Amino acid sequence: MRSSTVTHDAPAASLLAYGAARVYLAVAGWNTEGELPAVRKAILIAAPHTSAWDGPFMIAVAWAFRLRLHWLAKDTLFRGWRGPVLRWLGAIPVDRRAPRGQVADVVERFEQADAMILAIAPEGTRARTEHWKSGFYRMAVSAKVPIICGFLDYRRKVGGLGPVFLPTGDAKADMDRLREFYSGITGMRADGFAEPRLREEDPSAASKHAQDRAAE
């Protein structure tokens, strides 16, 4: 059983949230692993992302660490009664149509915040994808914050926190570290989680992607 004491400098979840998370994980038969590093700001990778259940488990694991985790959601979802609920769960509204883009918006939020651990699901979809979206990496590099390898291993029923590192700007070298760690992690749909890879690491794929976007 993880201690209910706050042992980190990041935003803290309440004791009520901690208790709810421990009950939820216990009923589901899940355990937690790892320790939250001594950082106040970071991008936390939420992977694998192959099921709608990943969100509830991600939040429960974070609360079990007494961590108030933040995550991005479309601003249109915050209308009416859902707004207060989503904000209580840690959601941050974003306008995906904003001219300057999500990366610049998130970097500014990091600059203004005293402490913020932001969860990003780089796969961007629950369907199998051969490339991760690079936004999480560009956010971490631009904001100069570390990357925490969060994980949900459905095979072992364990969720937690893995390695933490400050991205170097060498995408391939940094992604090699992620590939090594996530190689042993299994999503709810085992065949839905591909090896972590950015389009930027594959020149031909990156060129085609740029052409497709230019044609839109």
Q: Is residue 119 part of a domain?
A: yes
Estimate the crossing angle of helix 54-64 against helix 15-28, to 10 degrees.
130
pTM of the model: 0.88
| Residue 147: C-alpha distances to residues 29, 161, 175, 186 (Å) | 28, 11, 11, 20
DSSP state of 155: T
How many domains are contained in the chain? 1
Q: By residue range, what is the domain housing residue 184?
A: 15-215
- pLDDT of 30-75, one tens digit each? 999 999 888 999 999 999 999 999 999 999 999 999 999 999 988 8
Q: Is residue 51 part of a domain?
A: yes
Distance CA 147, CA 75 (A): 25
- pLDDT of 69-106, one tens digit each? 999 988 888 988 888 999 999 999 887 776 568 899 99
Interacting residues of 185 by C-beta distance below 8 A, sequence separation 6+: 47, 48, 151, 152, 153, 193
Q: Is residue 8 part of a domain?
A: no
Q: Is residue 48 part of a domain?
A: yes
Q: Is residue 7 part of a domain?
A: no
DSSP state of 14: P
Q: Is residue 166 part of a domain?
A: yes
3-state secondary structure of 108: helix
